[in-house]
């Protein structure tokens, strides 16, 4: 019985005419796929851009809350997806002046923001802040 069914199945497909898609149908289907792909890519890019803006705002907030007494030595602190690093550099040309650099980095190590504080005899003399755009 099984041989009989497979023989009939083969005979059926040998004598049946198949209808193929025309080139116009294929082009229309590809155009629809391209439109859907373009819309989805714009949504993905916008969500990544808004995530970068949120990270930069968090970095600005962290840098704005820092003062000269926050961190006294070279160190690194992590909070969530951001890492705060500080570096202290003594000025060789002028006695009593030090430069403290604070950098906010993301998980991948990209610099999101930076703040520089100049200290003269333990007091804040000048500050500078720069937010990087990726």
Q: What share of the chain is helix, strand, coil (3-state, %, to 5)?
A: 40, 30, 25
Give pTM, 2 decimals: 0.50
Q: Where are the chain's structural domains?
A: 2-131
Q: 39-80 pLDDT, tens per residue? A: 999 999 988 888 778 888 888 887 877 765 565 555 677 777
């Amino acid at each position: 019985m099984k041989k009989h069914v497979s023989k009939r199945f083969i005979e059926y497909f040998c004598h049946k005419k198949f209808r193929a898609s025309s080139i116009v149908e294929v082009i229309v289907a590809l155009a629809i796929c391209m439109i859907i792909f373009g819309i989805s890519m714009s949504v993905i890019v916008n969500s990544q851009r808004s995530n970068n803006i949120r990270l930069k705002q968090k970095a600005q907030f962290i840098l704005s809350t820092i003062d000269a007494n926050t961190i006294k030595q070279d160190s690194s602190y992590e909070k969530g997806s951001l890492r705060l690093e500080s570096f202290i550099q003594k000025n060789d040309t002028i006695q009593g002046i030090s430069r403290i650099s604070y950098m906010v980095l993301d998980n991948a190590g990209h610099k999101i923001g930076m703040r520089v504080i100049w200290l003269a005899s333990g007091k804040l003399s000048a500050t500078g802040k720069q937010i990087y755009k990726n």
